[in-house]
Structure 1
């Protein structure tokens, strides 16, 4: 079994190159690989335990959401949080209700079953959205709206799904208690995430651990503490995890750069295994028998329910028509709807497999169609921003003690006033230093008479108190450049 899992992981890793060439999301390849290795494919790995899948998927999602929050810039959250939160609450209700009613009218399912499917597929997926946008150059405000929405819409989708299942089983509690529970889920989740996110950097700065590896253990402890505490208090752990990650990621503390790299790798690992596991859980022969209903459900969701939710939920915020259209198309479904699709069977509803197969087919279509064309739509809607050249070299500043310095990475464009300037002529702030220059994939040792060229990547060591002065120097009205901390 270990050998097969290792081979599956290796195949998944190298298959991402094929996915890039074909222009399809990696999650599709991982799902397909899981189905091929699974019990209904080559029958190499038998996995048919939705309850276990749900628990393992939760652990993976905790890591993915924490890393997503960790890398969300404070400026973008301020701009996008309110509309994203509207999409994550009001938008979920609109999606579930409109999609469910249309499923009932078009397919002929009972109204309860139709709205249950609508609730299950109402949430966009953080694992899919974060993975898809990681290497994309989408306009930041729009991309941040989709990312924050996907990280915060799980509570409403989960609550709606459980509410409808309880109604179908005849165990529904007082509607007033439902509303009270919803308010508690959101407010307490935000509060717990804020509390842990604010306290954690102080913990890191005071820990003074001798072995740097223990800082990775510590960040995982913080990550799972935010979810575990929220779960114990019967509030939403996913929202708490994302908010905690956001506040930790926007603070300064020891060993932050190493932790950032660690979280990036762990999040990628979690993404891969999450979709591989869900692929193993699927029986393709069963899914194909529902392809007609699956196509109809997917079309209603993508072309009617999602646009209706986006336009109504963002009515009071300043988004252009193009941005709203992109928000409609960027509402990609992924792991969370598949996990929610295991709830009916786990609760003992008849035809539980029917819900799972329909939802899985919808997720496949959403990921394949929307995920594969996201760049195309962004380009057509003029929402692509110029992508910064990436370097094959990485300089890291990892410290076990608090420092007053930061390492910045700056890309020199052709119209920058820095072009053809010698380093000795730059009025850098005191105690600031250019420590390396990457030019045409080679590293140049900087000297006073070294001349800066177009497309150079500068690595600068700068004190925190001088950071803004340096940014103002490089971010002139003529160039409007910005330096980005490699901590992020």
Structure 2
């Protein structure tokens, strides 16, 4: 029992230190997940002396933590974001992972003296981006970029783990049995289709099960988040047990459940946010404890060389090849290539060669650990500056807002929102609350009163309103503080606006001719943008047409485009080299070259 208490004491102390380190990360801009790893290293066998070498326990604990993170990632992904990003993201999550593994394997073949099969194995281990690192930096790092780019990165990081896990597990099995890769090719293809197929089917069924149980079973409000998490882990374990990809299944279940109206959704999201933080801390601390830094000097130089190759060559080439067919700008493709952080998933996969008793098992683990640390240090520290450098930071649509969503019991057809009246907000300047919103209560100086008796609203008042679902964005603008307009906003949204109801033939005549086909000329500018974007446009969405860029400046309440900016500046290449160009841009360059030759 004394040993149990000491282990508990040390574990809780490490978790608290990791939690407090978030304050340090905010102050200095350090990658928080890198700090978690470093705390684990400092507490390990070469630091404070905690000897943890149970690879099986680390792998199982890390897998459960990753399942929790992936479910929360899917739960917070809107169906609209998934739809607009699914094609490029899934291409990178499959073909991109394979390309990265092959390119990295070639480099490992020469820098570490591996065989081709061993090189492909370590390439598969580090081929996927880390969902925890990507979601943390994009959602909590204060990086406000275009929704399409953000969604592509998030969906890719949530869906590329199954491919990397499949490749790593299959190669470990082949190498452990002494088989030849060529002879097992057809068997691997069948196994891959089985894992992905079962992951999708069981994940979707699991999402339906979660929603139906929470809707139909009278669960106590405090137990509902626990029910949801337990059911998500049940989906993960059941899918894995029957030979499917449990990680893909739990992510799909999260997307389905997160896009359905269930009660109490707000408390579920708050609970999952806390559990995701805990899962990230535990996973990175355990993997840090598992490492032995005294073994690193033997391979430090080739491992750093491989990390640099991965960041600057393998990942960018794989991303560019995958995004060629899609209408991403040069700057957007460059940013997607840069946000390829490696993290706990790669270290978890590096445990598999050790569990499979492969000859160089520890070498795989140590090399991967160094690669992950270099990736988190280089990319994690520079993501926000890189977004600024590439001009991808989207100006905020509204100012600061203090809003709280409250759950109503059962299947209520209204939402209950609470706003704190902030300085310089429109409602404080005399704007009226719409008739469709029903204010019911005002809390002022700790005292509650009915809205009709509260008089003119004052700063710091808390106002409770019942509204129909889907109208909260309109009230957000009403209760938001006055927006400070940056000097760069005009540069981002273009120097002037055009009427979205205007005909495209006029646009073609002014900036062409030859920009648009005959069918597109008959459309309005708004219709053309919706067609090119593949759905309803969102704030700051951009459509490149020849040498001009159309930008959504604002939208109506029903999602239709309200104002459109036009810019000639942002189409300039991000670099002087033809890096990350898509098919449309390559074709335009070829036309320009042909025109100059004729001239």
TM, length-normalised to structure 1? 0.88
Identify the residue that residue 168 of structure 1 maps to in structure 2. Answer: 175
Question: 1-side partners of 2:234 and 2:157: how far apart?
Answer: 21
Matches within 5 A, 1:470-485: 480=555
1:242 aligns with 2:251: yes
SS state at 1:61 partner: helix
Q: CA deviation at 1:112?
A: 2.1
Choose the corresponding residue for 2:335, options 304, 316, 326: 326
Q: CA deviation at 1:395?
A: 3.3
Q: Is the 8 A contact 1:471 1:482 kept in 2?
A: no
Partner of 1:486: none
How far apart, in 2, do the equivalents of 1:185 and 1:449 lie? 62
* Residue 160 of structure 2 corresponds to residue 150 of structure 1: no
CA distance in 2, matches of 1:81, 1:456: 42
CA deviations 1:62-84 (Å, max 9, x no partner) are 11000011111111111111111
Matching of residue 302 in structure 1 with residue 311 in structure 2:
yes
5+ residue gaps, structure 2: 1-6, 480-537, 540-551, 559-599
**Cα distance 1:58–1:426, how it changes in 2: closer, same or farther (>3 A)?**
same
**Counterpart in 1 of 2:47?**
41
Q: Deviations over 1:361-380 (max 9, x none)?
A: 00000011100111000111
Structure 1 or 2: larger helix share?
1
1:206 to 195, 216, 222: 216
CA deviations on 1:19-40 (whole Å, 9 max, x unpaired) are 1222111111111111111112
The equivalent residue for 1:129 is 134
2:406 aligned counterpart, secondary structure: coil
- Is 2:96 the counterpart of 1:86? no
Please give the alpha-carbon distance, in whole angstroms, between the structure 2 residues aligned to 1:373 and 1:59: 30
Structure 2 CA distance for partners of 1:65 and 1:168, relative to 1, 3 Å: same
State yes or no: 1:347 paired with 2:356: yes
* Paired position in structure 1 for 2:197: 187
Report how far residue 15 of structure 1 moved. Answer: 1.0
Q: What do the CA deviations read for 1:313-370 (whole angstroms, capped 9, x no partner)?
A: 1122121111110111101000000000011111011121111000000000001110
Residue 374 of structure 1 corresponds to 383
Structure 1 CA distance for aligned equivalents of residues 229 and 328 of structure 2: 37
Structure 1 residues 144, 281: CA separation in 2 closer, same or farther (over 3 Å shift)?
same
TM-score by length of 2: 0.72
Q: How does 1:389-404 map to 2 (within 5 A)?
A: 395-404=404-413
Q: Please state how far the C-alpha of 1:289 moved relative to its aligned partner.
A: 2.6
Specify whether residues 290 and 450 from structure 1 end up closer, same or farther in structure 2 by C-alpha distance, changes over 3 A only: farther
CA distance, structure 1, for counterparts of residue 327 and residue 186 of structure 2: 33
Asked if structure 1 preserves the Cα contact closer than 8 Å seen for 2:441 and 2:449, the reply is no
C-alpha RMSD over aligned residues: 3.3
Q: Which residue of 2 aligns with 1:12?
A: 18
Contact residue 406 and residue 418 of structure 2 kept, 8 A = no
Give the match for residue 188 of structure 2: 178
Comparing 393-402 with 268-277, which one deviates more in the overlay? 393-402
1:184-243 deviations in Å (ceiling 9; x for gaps): 22222112111221332221111112x322212211222112212211221101011011
How many residue pairs were aligned?
474
Please say if 1:359 is aligned against 2:368: yes
1:283 is aligned to 292
SS in 2 for 1:464: coil
* Conserved? CA contact 1:421–1:452, under 8 Å: no
Larger radius of gyration: 2
Aligned to 2:68: 63
Q: Residue 270 of structure 1: CA displacement?
A: 0.5
SS at match of 1:395: strand
Checking the alignment, whether the CA contact within 8 Å between 1:420 and 1:451 is kept in structure 2 is no
Shift of 1:400: 4.0
CA contact (8 A) 1:329 1:370 kept: yes
Distance change in 2, residues 1:398/1:185 (3 Å): same
Structure 1 position 418, deviation (Å): 5.5
* CA distance, structure 2, for counterparts of residue 203 and residue 468 of structure 1: 30
Question: Kindly tell me: are residues 145 and 438 of structure 1, through their superposed partners in 2, closer, same or farther at Cα, counting changes over 3 Å?
Answer: farther
User: More relative contact order in 1 or in 2 (CA 8 Å, sep 6+)?
Assistant: 1
Change (3 A) 1:313 1:434: farther
Tell me the distance in 2 between the aligned counterparts of 1:159 and 1:350. Answer: 20
For structure 1, the 5+ residue unaligned runs are: 484-488
CA contact (8 A) 1:378 1:384 kept: yes
1:268 counterpart residue number: 277
SS in 2 for 1:137: coil
